[in-house]
Amino acid sequence: MATVRPFSRDQRTTIIYGMLAFVIVIVVLQLWLLTATMNAYLGGDQRVIVPAALVSAVGCALNVGLLGYVRRMERVSRE
Amino acid sequence: MAEQPGDSGSLNIYVRRRERESITTAPNRSPDDQQPAWREDFPIDWPQDQYVERRDFMKFLVLTSAALTVGQVWIIGQNWLRRRRGLPEVRRVASLSEIPTGASLVFQYPGELDNCVLIRLSERDLVAYSQKCTHLSCAVIPEPGQGVLRCPCHDGYFDLRSGDPKAGPPRRPLPRITLDVRGQDIYATGVEMRTT
């Protein structure tokens, strides 16, 4: 049976920094997407609304997945 | 369980050893006996504090990400409601005799709270726009002498003939009200929204 070796605190801090970089990029992308979609909606352009929402939802799912990984990592470290 | 001092005589490999980096060190990296006395009153575990801060910031960003997605869904809902309302009804605005050349007239279309402005540029040349500035919804004022519509809030300017933004903060053109002249009467027939 394989043994799961928990990460040390320094390793976890490094992992958090890496994840933060991803999350910040995704949130900035989502923010830009929301302003662009709002501009299109107010200008009467309906074509981009649903694709933009789908991309934003994928970004949100990625972020939630990364947060789930952090929670699992902490659970393994506590055990 | 951390290894206790004095246990070194019999090394138990099953006891989890304390990681070197998890031992709290003061920010100035000096040994404990060289630390100022006040440090004892504020025994903050700095590496742990840093880790928790970054993790909580990440949680906050994920919440922000969810809020931005909710915003996108809200736009879908608003767009669905707008499509459900359908095209606005054709409505009489004024008669040609009420508005001389170079003059303007404020009217409401398509709703009672949607102010629009009708401008007569020449004998047969009429244009109408929504009066809400596309920057922050202030009322625009037609200035036919300069050939512009001016927003007094932030000095935004729109072209009188096309409604396109000319100067200032607005980036989108004014929504154009399509007009139809039937005999001596002017009718509003729809709203043309534009991004460029």
B56-95 confidence digits (pLDDT tens): 999 999 999 999 999 999 999 999 999 998 888 999 999 9
More reliable by pLDDT, B31 or B159: B159
| pLDDT in the model for residue B5 | 47
Contact A30 B57 (CB under 8 A): no
Complex confidence, ipTM: 0.91
pLDDT digits (tens, 9 = 90+) for A41-71: 998 889 999 999 999 999 999 999 999 999 9
pTM of this structure: 0.76
Of B59, B65, B76, the CB nearest to A59: B65
Query: For residue A63, how many other CB atoms are within 10 A of its CB?
Result: 24
- Give the H/E segment covering residue B48: helix B46-85
* Spatial contact of B157 and B148, defined as CB atoms under 8 Å apart: yes
pLDDT classification of B142: cutoffs 50, 70, 90: very high
| A4 domain residue, yes or no | no
Domain annotation covers residue A46: yes
- Shortest CA gap A69–chain B (Å): 12
Partnered with residue B178 across adjacent β-strands are B190
Cα Rg of chain A, angstroms: 18
- What is the Rg, in whole angstroms, of the alpha carbon atoms belonging to chain B? 34
For residue A8, being part of any structural domain is answered with: no
Which residues does A contribute to its contact with B (CB < 8 Å)?
8-10, 12-13, 16-17, 19-20, 23-24, 26-27, 30-31, 33-34, 37-46, 49-50, 52-53, 56-57, 59-60, 63-64, 66-67, 70
- Domains identified in chain A, total number: 1
The fraction of chain B above a pLDDT of 70, given in percent, is 87
Residue A62 lies in a domain: yes
Range of the domain at A57: 23-78
Measured in angstroms, the CA of B184 and the nearest CA of chain A are apart by 31
A3 is a domain residue: no
Q: Which two tokens stand for residue A72?
A: 């699992």
On chain B, the residues whose CB falls within 8 A of the CB of A51 are none
Is position A1 within any domain?
no
Q: What percentage of chain A exceeds 90 in pLDDT?
A: 67
| Structural domains for chain B | 20-83 (no CATH), 91-192 (2.102.10.10)
Q: Is residue A6 part of a domain?
A: no
At B167-186, the pLDDT tens digits run 999 999 999 999 999 999 99
Angle A41-A42-A47 from CA coordinates, rounded to 5°: 25
Scan for tokens 């402005």, then name that residue. B117
Give the model's pLDDT for residue B124.
83
Of the candidates B97, B107, B114, the one whose C-alpha atom is nearest the C-alpha of residue B179 is B107
Q: Which helix (H) or strand (E) holds B29?
A: none
pLDDT digits (tens, 9 = 90+) for B28-50: 778 778 888 887 787 777 778 88
Per-residue b/e over B6-31, b at no fewer than 16 CB within 10 Å?
A: eeeeeeeeeeeeeeeeeeeeeeeeee
Comparing alpha-carbon positions, the chain B residue that sits nearest to A19 is B58
Whole-number pLDDT of residue A9: 81
Q: How far is B123 from chain A (nearest CA, A)?
A: 30
In a domain, A67, yes or no: yes
